[in-house]
Structure 1
Amino acid sequence: MSELGNIIEDMIQRLLVDSVDHTLLERSEGGGWEGDLWSKLEENGLPIMLAEPKEKGGEFGWREAYLVAMAAGRHALPLPLPEAIAAGWLLALSGIVAPEGRLGLAAGDGLVVEGDTAHGRLPRVAWGRHLTHVVATTCDQVVLIPVEGCAVVPGDNLAGEPRDDLVFDGVEVLSAPCPPGFGTETSRQLGALLRSAQMAGAIATLLERSLAYAGERQQFGKLIGGFQAVQHMMAVLAEESAAAAMAAEQAFAALDLGRDKDFAIAAAKVRTGEAAGRAASIAHQVLGAMGFAREHPLHFASRRLWSWRAEFGSEAEWAERIADMVIPMGGDGLWAFVTAAQADPM
């Protein structure tokens, strides 16, 4: 990791360790907005860290954004920080001046733009009710939509995070052509990318808590971590955590390196989604009934994993996209593609 990466990781970890606790997470469920914590994130420049991207001479790139998104998942951050980072990057590359306020990101499904007005419905927008603007892509355009002109249909995911439908008819918007190499599906791809890193972070938390519990819980006069069956489960959990982190990291690096982002993002969403299911299952087996208790923090990570793996496309959807990309290559072409697509380490 670069020196800059170390600085970013240390900053976000210290900030979230000091700020995100059981009380805050409980309070945030049901749609509340943690304004004081958001102000701290803004003071450290995190929501706009890619508003001047490396492509335009900025200091930070997607490798640094990966560290922030993973930390957000690791600590179950109840704010749309990863979405704000990606939205600011999209606006910067498309030449749209980012407005003041809270930016969100949405897939452009159901969005119709005619001139400078938009119609349609953006489903399940993260923290939609608290945003000032949302960014989406459709018809090879980046679109900036003011939430003030939308009707908000409240909703929540399994983790209690706001997932609101934004409905609009004739809302005035700003739009610009997508940056070169990007298109209609870009906002969905970026959402899948962010969720892959967040899931990798949450899985790391499951591993940490499971190891701690196995090292303190006794059964039949022996620590449960000493039983071979539990050791095997912990080994599988560690494997899934490492695989998820590597898949997500490589997808973020692909954006910085100009490698095949379509394949890397699809692979990351599939692999982290699969890891999320296995990791949550193992963690709850290790902790037993304790892990399901409201007072225990394990459920903050596992409920987010169950929610995030379905957002911005499920594993099945992204696996189909991978198949569409690689089947025409044939066996020899696929091998050459995979071996050439390895990103440099972060």
Structure 2
Amino acid sequence: MNTETKLLSDTAHQVFGALTDGADAWQQIEVMGLTRIGIPEHLGGSGGTTDQARIVLRAAAYHAARIPLAETLWLAAPILADARMPIPDGPLTIANATGGDLRVHASRDGSSLRLDGTLNRVPWARRATRIVIATDERVCLIEPNTCTITEGENLAGEPRDDIRLDGVTIDTDDVGTLPYRLNLRSRGALARSIQISGAAQRALDHSVEYAGQRTQFGRPIAQFQAVQQHLAQIAGEATILDVSVASATRKAAERPDGSPAIAAARINACRGAGVVAELAHQIHGAIGTTHEHQLRLATTRLWSWREEFGNETEWSRTLGNTATGADDPWHFITAL
């Protein structure tokens, strides 16, 4: 990690570690430019690289920040920039209209579009200032107050809302076209995998701290071989997660439509999330499941995020099908 990257990581951890769950939480990070890293300045971003955006997103996940940073920083804002559309201020979210029942109708004069249909489990819809609706090549911006939002949440208590569109009309100025075929499932899977890497590291740190403090038979439980093995396995999984998502991020930056490396990172993330959560709770015992203990903030997110944008089984099937279609499957797999 070079000096600039370390400074960014330290700053992000300091900011998200002190962030409170108040109304001004988003403004605190937005004014610092942390919500648009990785987007060129001439397109409305803060500059920097995609890998730097990964570092910021991982830090937010480590501290269990209750903000739609993945949806804004990693999904909505970059897609709007790619479509050469202005990026609105405030938290954003994105909904995938591909494969759903959303219907798009153009007006007769061609100056507006009408949207009808339902979009399910949209992250943070109730908190977003604008909602981005994405299809394969088209991006639409809508106001949350123009649709009906039914609130829901995932296991970690993060908003996952249903959106009902009944004849919502948007001006063509709020519609853009992407220069590529969007694979939102792939982008979202990488975002959640990055978040899992942050939450896994937090679960490891909680476990190391607790094992050093909790005593049994007159000595810290960290001195017992079984606990040491659990800690070593969690540390190994956390390292695998960091390496795989970092590699996938670099390769995805070269291919905005997605990369097989994302599938590999996603498989590791989903598998590793389960292992880390299970072993961390074994180390903590019953106290780790209580509302008062911070471990639950990491593990409930691990369980939730591994089920979003495709789970381990779905991505294993995707990667397997891609590999069998390659000219040299062995080279395909080992080159990831």
Q: TM-score, normalised by structure 1?
A: 0.87
Is the contact between residue 69 and residue 91 of structure 2 (CA under 8 Å) also seen in structure 1?
no
Secondary structure of 1:288's partner? helix
Equivalence for 1:234: 231
Q: Deviations over 1:274-330 (max 9, x none)?
A: 100010000000000111121111111111111111111211122221122111126
Match of 1:30 in 2: none
Question: Any conservation in 2 of the 1:202–1:302 contact (CA below 8 Å)?
Answer: yes
Q: Given that residues 54 and 61 in structure 1 are in contact (C-alpha distance below 8 angstroms), is that contact kept between their aligned partners in structure 2?
A: no
| Residue segments in structure 1 that go unaligned for 5+ positions in a row | 25-33, 342-346
Q: Summarize the Cα distance change of 1:144–1:76 in structure 2 as closer, same or farther, 3 Å threshold.
A: same
Structure 2: which 5+ residue stretches go unaligned? 107-112
Is 1:158 the counterpart of 2:155? The answer is yes
Which amino acid counterpart does residue 74 of structure 1 have in structure 2? Y
Q: Following superposition of structure 1 onto structure 2, how do residues 66-215 of structure 1 map, counting pairs within 5 Å?
A: 66-85=54-73, 86-109=75-98, 110=100, 111-115=102-106, 116-173=113-170, 174-180=174-180, 182-183=181-182, 186-215=183-212
| Structure 1 residues 43 and 121: CA distance shift in structure 2, 3 A | same
Q: Which moved more, 1:307-316 or 1:202-211?
A: 307-316
Per-residue deviation, 1:44: 0.5
- Deviation of 1:260 after TM superposition, in Å, equals 8.2
The whole-number CA distance in structure 1 between the counterparts of 2:43 and 2:256 is 14
TM-score w.r.t. length of structure 2: 0.89
Partners of 2:39 and 2:47 within 8 A in 1: no
Name the amino acid aligned to 2:119: L
Cross-structure match for 2:24: 36
Deviation (angstroms), 1:242: 0.7
Look up the equivalent residue of 2:261 and give its one-letter code.
Answer: A
2:52 pairs with 1:64: yes
Q: 1:53 to 1:253 in 2, by over 3 A?
A: farther
Task: Tell me the CA shift for residue 339 of structure 1.
Answer: 4.3
Residue aligning to 1:322: 319
Secondary structure of 1:106 counterpart: strand
Tell me how many residue pairs correspond in the alignment.
324
CA contact (8 A) 1:211 1:234 kept: yes
Alignment of 1:12-51 (within 5 A): 12-20=12-20, 24=21, 34-51=22-39
Give the match's secondary structure for 1:38.
helix
Deviations 1:83-103 (A, max 9, x none): 111211100111122233431
Query: Residues of 1 paired with 2:42 and 2:277: CA distance?
Result: 36
Q: CA contact under 8 A between 1:135 and 1:144: conserved in structure 2?
A: yes
Find the counterpart in structure 1 of residue 332 from structure 2: 337
Any idea what SS the aligned residue of 1:47 has? coil
Displacement of 1:169 in angstroms is 2.3
2:192–2:305 contact (8 Å) kept in structure 1: yes
Name 2:110's counterpart in structure 1. none
Q: Specify which of 284, 288, 313 is matched with residue 287 of structure 1.
A: 284
Q: Which residue of 2 aligns with 1:249?
A: 246
- Cα distance in 2, alignment partners of residues 63 and 154 from structure 1: 33
Runs of 4+ deviating beyond 3 Å = 53-58, 257-261, 338-341
Within 2, Cα distance between the matches of 1:259 and 1:326? 20
Root-mean-square deviation (CA, aligned residues, Å) is: 2.2
Q: After TM superposition, give the deviation of residue 56 of structure 1 in Å.
A: 9.9
C-alpha distance in structure 1 between counterparts of 2:42 and 2:239, whole Å: 28
C-alpha spacing 1:112/1:315, structure 2 compared with 1 (3 Å): farther
Larger RCO (alpha carbons 8 Å, 6+ apart): 1
